[in-house]
């Protein structure tokens, strides 16, 4: 049975997670066009709450409506009105109905905001995404005044979620979104106090953490999602990540989720990037090699005491328990499996040995066109189409309380794209 998985975890702030499994953040796209929670979000998170995880992480809750991660994000960019507060409270009540934690992941898309949302996004610098297809515009550098405003927005959003009944928050500092853009020397070319040295590049993140802690108080869990590395030449590297984690530990962070990659190098999604992956200097462990970032977390645990969460690639209970036993993780995050097996945590703790690898069978490009896969652009399209298939499963769970494992991948791709355009049309 899942003995290690079933153990409770007491966080530095005193909050207790009832077990070691968390539902990782996955973008839902289920908000209203103006960014308000919906009954569909409540249905989805109620189903997940019943699934047995000790903690659920929401998808991106955006602090600036002009910098969505995708259409359909929840947006908290000011103190909520009565309707918004009631909708947040309904979401929080559904997502905690089984006694688990529900943490709000708070984020800003920065330059990874598509042209469909904003053709002129803000970022640390004016470095555009190196992706084909013209999906993302050239960003404009944020001013110091705009940075200060964003820091305050993070705090306002965190307090709104706390007041609504969420039991924690996560500051998204990974995956190439805005905070990650500041951390990366490849993207952050600033010459002021927010650029240059690692201390300066981490200043924005640490200011956000300080403001959020002041807003929610000492007993409320605050997490940060941080890249172990960007896996790009000239980007944020593992040695930088260890330094930032030490600073976050000193700043009273309760849990750090270790991840990696960006849209340009989407290691987090299991999709091949547009350039060769930059290898990081971290020793391989003897742990089962199915999890993407377990070696980085293991090396990090030797440097800090703050609890770590690892998400990405876990499929066997043996590998999860081994990661916990060897100190490579304190919390195991599950993402895609919970799009279809919504009670995966309960089953794993009860003794299930292996989760299905649904993504292994998702292939947009027919086998007879396999020769095209040698082209990087085709690889990227193929990978992201598979991701859209999981988006469609979340849509069905939220609207109908069901999944459809036989749903065609290309149909899902078209459905999500059409829905995104419809949401943006309704916003205008």
Percent of the chain with pLDDT over 90: 69
Confidence class for position 363, pLDDT limits 50, 70, 90: low
Confidence class for position 130, pLDDT limits 50, 70, 90: confident
Separation CA 149–CA 214 (nearest Å): 16
Residue 368 resides in a domain:
no
Q: Are 182 and 204 in contact (CB under 8 A)?
A: yes
Query: Which residue would you say has higher pLDDT here, 93 or 237?
Result: 93
In the predicted structure, residue 1 carries a pLDDT above the cut 90:
no
Range of the domain at 104: 3-356
Tell me the average pLDDT of the chain.
Answer: 88
Residue 349 resides in a domain:
yes
In the predicted structure, residue 2 carries a pLDDT above the cut 50:
yes
pLDDT at residue number 380: 55
Q: What is the mean pLDDT of residues 130-155?
A: 90
In the predicted structure, residue 425 carries a pLDDT above the cut 70:
yes
Residues contacting 221, CB < 8 A, separation 6+: 11, 13, 15, 101, 103, 167, 168, 169, 254, 255
- Choice among 74-78, 162-166, 215-219, 355-359 with the minimum mean pLDDT: 355-359
Q: Are 236 and 254 in contact (CB under 8 A)?
A: no
Selection from 35, 336, 301, 4 nearest residue 157 by Cα: 35
Residue 391 resides in a domain:
no
Task: Write out 54-122 in H/E/C secondary structure.
Answer: CEEEEEEEECCCCCCCCCCCEECCCCCCHHHHHHHHHHHHHHCCCCCEEEEEEECCHHHCECCCCCCCE
Tokens for 130, please give them.
């190196």
CA atoms within 13 A on the CB side of 166: 28
Q: Are 188 and 125 in contact (CB under 8 A)?
A: yes
Tell me the pLDDT tens digit for each residue of 30-81: 999 999 999 999 999 999 999 999 999 999 999 999 999 999 999 999 999 9
What's the domain count of the chain? 1
Q: CA–CA distance from 322 to each of 2, 23, 24, 160, 316 (Å)?
A: 11, 19, 19, 38, 10
Residue 238 resides in a domain:
yes
pLDDT at residue number 136: 84
Separation CA 350–CA 168 (nearest Å): 26
Residue 208 resides in a domain:
yes
Indicate which CATH number applies to the domain containing 292.
3.20.20.70
How many CB atoms sit inside 10 A of residue 376's CB? 13
In the predicted structure, residue 267 carries a pLDDT above the cut 60:
no
Q: Are 179 and 205 in contact (CB under 8 A)?
A: yes
Separation CA 17–CA 9 (nearest Å): 5
Most confident range, picked from 58-72, 220-234, 401-415: 58-72
Q: Are 373 and 365 in contact (CB under 8 A)?
A: yes
Residue 423 resides in a domain:
no
Confidence class for position 241, pLDDT limits 50, 70, 90: confident
Quick one: the chain helix, strand, coil %, rounded to 5?
40, 15, 45
pLDDT at residue number 159: 98
Q: What is the mean pLDDT of residues 361-379?
A: 52
pLDDT at residue number 175: 85
Q: What are phi and psi of 79, to 5 degrees?
A: -60, 130
Selection from 121, 120, 35, 42 nearest residue 71 by Cα: 35
pLDDT at residue number 269: 47
In the predicted structure, residue 306 carries a pLDDT above the cut 70:
yes
How many CB atoms sit inside 10 A of residue 99's CB? 8
Confidence (pTM): 0.91
Separation CA 355–CA 23 (nearest Å): 14
- Choice among 291-305, 311-325, 403-417 with the minimum mean pLDDT: 291-305
Separation CA 76–CA 35 (nearest Å): 8
Residue 388 resides in a domain:
no
User: 16 pairs with which residues across the strands?
Assistant: 10
Residue 375 resides in a domain:
no
In the predicted structure, residue 181 carries a pLDDT above the cut 80:
yes
Q: What is the mean pLDDT of residues 335-346?
A: 95
Would you state the torsion angle of the CA atoms of residues 271, 48, 55, 169, taken in this order, to the nearest 10 degrees?
Answer: 80
| DSSP secondary structure of 206-253 | HHHHHHHHHHH-TTS-EEEEEES---STTS--HHHHHHHHHHHHHTT-
In the predicted structure, residue 415 carries a pLDDT above the cut 60:
yes
């Amino acid at each position: 049975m899942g003995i290690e998985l079933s153990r409770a975890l007491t966080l530095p702030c005193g909050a207790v997670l009832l077990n070691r499994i968390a539902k990782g953040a996955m973008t839902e796209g289920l908000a209203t066009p103006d960014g308000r929670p919906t009954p569909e979000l409540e249905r989805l998170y109620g189903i997940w709450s019943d699934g047995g995880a000790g903690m659920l992480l929401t998808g991106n809750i955006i602090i600036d409506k002009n910098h969505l991660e995708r259409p359909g994000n929840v947006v908290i960019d000011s103190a909520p009105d009565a309707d918004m507060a009631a909708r947040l409270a309904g979401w929080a009540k559904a997502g905690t109905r089984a006694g688990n934690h529900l943490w709000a992941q708070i984020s800003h898309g920065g330059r990874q905001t598509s042209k469909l949302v904003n053709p002129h996004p803000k970022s640390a610098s004016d470095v555009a995404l190196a992706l084909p297809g013209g999906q993302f515009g050239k960003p404009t550098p944020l001013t110091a005044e705009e940075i200060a405003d964003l820091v305050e927005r993070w705090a306002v959003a965190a307090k709104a979620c706390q007041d609504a009944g969420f039991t924690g928050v996560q500051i998204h500092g990974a995956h190439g979104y805005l905070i990650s853009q500041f951390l990366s020397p490849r993207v952050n070319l600033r010459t002021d106090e927010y650029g240059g040295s690692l201390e300066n590049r981490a200043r924005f993140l640490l200011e956000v953490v300080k403001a959020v802690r002041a807003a929610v108080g000492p007993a409320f869990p605050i997490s940060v999602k941080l890249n172990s590395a960007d896996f790009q030449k000239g980007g944020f590297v593992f040695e930088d990540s260890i330094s930032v984690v030490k600073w976050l530990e000193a700043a009273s962070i309760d849990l750090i989720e270790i991840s990696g990659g960006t849209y340009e190098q989407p290691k987090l999604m299991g999709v091949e990037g547009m350039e060769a992956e930059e290898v990081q200097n971290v020793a391989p462990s003897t742990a089962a090699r199915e999890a993407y970032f377990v070696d980085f977390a293991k090396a990090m645990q030797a440097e800090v005491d703050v609890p770590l969460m690892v998400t990405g690639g876990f499929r066997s209970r043996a590998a999860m328990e081994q990661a916990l036993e060897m100190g490579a993780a304190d919390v195991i995050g599950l993402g895609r499996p919970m799009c279809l097996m919504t009670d995966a945590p309960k089953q794993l703790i009860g003794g299930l040995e292996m989760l299905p690898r649904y993504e292994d069978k998702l292939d947009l490009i027919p086998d007879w066109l396999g020769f095209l896969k040698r082209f990087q652009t085709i690889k990227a399209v193929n990978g992201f189409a598979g991701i859209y298939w999981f988006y469609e499963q979340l849509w069905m769970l939220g609207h109908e309380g069901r999944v459809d494992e036989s749903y065609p991948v290309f149909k899902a791709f078209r459905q999500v794209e059409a829905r995104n355009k419809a949401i943006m049309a309704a916003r205008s």
